[in-house]
Amino acid sequence: MEYGKVFKHCKKVVDKGDVTGFRAVLKGVFHSDNKVIASDGKRLLIAEIDNAKFSNVLVDAKTGELQEGRYPDTNKLLLSEASDIQLDINKKTLEDIKRVLRRIKKAGFKYIELKLESEDKKHVWYVQPKPSPDINITDFDKTELRFALAEDERRKDQKKTFDIRYFINAMDFVKDNKRAGTKLMMTESNTTAIQFTNQVDEDFKYKYLVMPMRNF
């Protein structure tokens, strides 16, 4: 993916609040070596740009001006390549997820769940809305607003909750890499970030992390 597209997605990720102090650097996009990095503390995007060689500069995402400050070390936040859960998601599945997410958002839900359920001796990961007392949905809606993402061999039911806006932003980024699908990596903890990363044979290298919300 070319630099301009990557920077566009970085602008969606950076902290847009009135932040000061050490968090002020999160309003900027960090450029280092061949990497472009953006975060708001809840999401993290790291993308490698072909043939780039940046000299550790922080660029204000809104103004494009150079910004002062020391960017935090983000490498320690990345998931291990040997993470507990790794799901390969192809291009067709990406399209289906995005379509269901649009329906969920249109129905008024603000949060979604990634939920692993036991079903007919199988274990399936679902993308579905987090139930809300303010929204009544029919049985038909429940079917339309739920997507079976992938089967999994583990036996323990799990659930992770996310802000739907952040999940849609991640899907938009992954879809903009039109060459392939993505790999979704997770741990069994419901408080650890999920990580979208490039397929092994992909030229474009990236990591896109989204932190789950505390279940409430």
Q: Where does the pLDDT of residue 170 fall: very low under 50, low under 70, confident under 90, or very high at 90 and above?
A: very high
pLDDT at 106 over 60: yes
Distance, C-alpha 25 to centroid of its chain: 21
* Arithmetic mean of pLDDT over the chain: 90
What pLDDT shows up at residue 140?
Answer: 65
Q: How far apart are CA 47 and CA 7, in angstroms?
A: 10
Residues 6+ away with beta carbon under 8 Å from 99: none
Q: How far apart are CA 121 and CA 123, in angstroms?
A: 7
Looking at domain 3-77, its CATH superfamily turns out to be DNA Polymerase III, subunit A, domain 2 (3.10.150.10)
What pLDDT shows up at residue 201?
Answer: 64
Q: How far apart are CA 183 and CA 87, in angstroms?
A: 6
Nearest to 74 by CA among 30, 33, 34, 13: 30
Q: How far apart are CA 165 and CA 184, in angstroms?
A: 18
Task: Answer yes or no: are the C-beta atoms of 87 and 150 closer than 8 Å.
Answer: yes
Does pTM top 0.85 for this prediction?
A: yes
- Tens digit of pLDDT for each residue in 44-69? 999 999 999 999 999 999 999 999 99
Q: Where does the pLDDT of residue 152 fall: very low under 50, low under 70, confident under 90, or very high at 90 and above?
A: confident
pLDDT at 164 over 60: yes
What pLDDT shows up at residue 28?
Answer: 96
Looking at domain 85-210, its CATH superfamily turns out to be DNA Polymerase III, subunit A, domain 2 (3.10.150.10)
What ranges do the domains of the chain cover? 3-77, 85-210
pLDDT at 154 over 80: no
CA-to-CA separations, 97 to 12, 73, 147, 148, in angstroms, rounded: 20, 32, 7, 9
| For the chain, percent of residues with pLDDT exceeding 90 | 67
Q: How far apart are CA 16 and CA 13, in angstroms?
A: 9
Higher-scoring residue by pLDDT: 180, 24: 24
What pLDDT shows up at residue 19?
Answer: 73
pLDDT at 11 over 70: yes
pLDDT at 216 over 60: no
Task: Answer yes or no: are the C-beta atoms of 129 and 107 closer than 8 Å.
Answer: yes
Lowest mean pLDDT among 86-90, 133-137, 189-193: 133-137
Task: Answer yes or no: are the C-beta atoms of 99 and 126 closer than 8 Å.
Answer: no
The secondary structure of residue 47, as a DSSP letter, is E
